[in-house]
Amino acid sequence: MTTPSGKPPGYQAPAVHKAFHLLRTVAESDQPLGLTDLAQKLGYSKSTAHGLVHALLREGALVQGSDGRKLHLGPTVVDLAFSSWNYIKRVEAVQPVLDVLRDQIKETLVLGALICNRIFILAASESSDPLKITVSPGTGLPLFAGAAGKVFMATKPVAEARQLIRENGLPVHTPRSITDENDYLAVLEEIRSNGYSVDDEEYLTGIRAVAIALHNIKGPPMAFWTVGLASRMDDTKVSLAIRFMTVAAAELRSVLDQTPGD
């Protein structure tokens, strides 16, 4: 049940709202933020920001950098996202599917999750080719990173996607990066229609990728993608990747959404 504003009825808990606003701001910032930076960005008084930050530090939702000042998301945020999902067993279960896709497409396959508008790599199956893309599980990518970023953005309502673009700006990673809001939104609409996204050297020069969102029910939103050198990832291979990945998406989604112990 919602009110005419679209929000649930009842007490709105402003302190909780402010805490989540603070966490989102830290998660979405390209640079580590200190207490003063946060207070200015959020429009909070320094005393309000100080109280929220120290409460979140105690809970492990924030951690301080080595300088003791800059703030980063803490382990509690990720722990909560995975607590009812049995992360380790799920990753072990999807690994064989990624390995089969790697052998079919002959490029590196990656599984990632969207947490606090940042992409976290959960699993990877690297190509056997010496000239391969190496990916490390546990690392993070910014929201607007290539094919994965676009496919995650395409899962969001248009109004939310537009707001994220306006709040963060579209970064220029390479000369091929899409930096116009309307052009980017048009691409997202194509992705919703096609069911996949393609990165044509938009995030890293010389690298192409194909991504598909899994629309899983359990756990955080997930997607998987194949990435390789543009010299090998020609249009024929991109089409091949889309075909194999579209078939595998249903299997991956089933594995991710099954009840532990099934």
What is the CATH code of the structural domain delimited by 14-80?
A: 1.10.10.10
pLDDT of residue 64: 81
Nearest to 250 by CA among 212, 199, 197: 212
* Residue 230, CA distances (Å) to 34, 105, 112, 226 in order: 39, 14, 21, 12
The pLDDT of residue 30 is: 67
Find the length of the chain.
Answer: 262
Pick the residue with more confidence: 85 or 144? 144
Measure the CA–CA gap between 190 and 176, rounded to whole angstroms.
18
- pLDDT, one tens digit per residue, over 134-157 is 888 878 888 899 999 999 999 999
Q: What pLDDT does residue 120 have?
A: 87
Which segment of 18-22, 65-69, 182-186, 213-217 scores lowest on mean pLDDT?
A: 65-69
pLDDT at 13 over 80: no
Do the beta carbons of residue 97 and residue 249 sit within 8 Å?
Answer: no
The closest alpha carbon to 128, from 105, 96, 97, 106, belongs to 106
DSSP 3-state of 22: helix
Which range, 115-119, 123-127, 128-132, 136-140, has the best average confidence (pLDDT)?
Answer: 123-127
- Class of 84-257 per CATH? alpha beta
CA 98, CA 226: separation in Å to the nearest integer?
A: 10
Supply the pTM of this predicted model: 0.71
Give the mean pLDDT of 205-225. 91
Q: Which of 197, 99, 103 is nearest to 149 (CA)?
A: 197
Question: Please, what is the angle between helix 158-168 and helix 181-194, to 10°?
Answer: 140
- Angle formed at CA 215 by CA 201 and CA 87, multiple of 5 degrees: 95
Domains 14-80 and 84-257 are alike in CATH topology? no
Hey, how many other C-beta atoms are within 10 angstroms of the C-beta on 22?
Answer: 25
Q: Where are the domains positioned within the chain?
A: 14-80, 84-257
> In this model, does residue 65 exceed pLDDT 90?
no
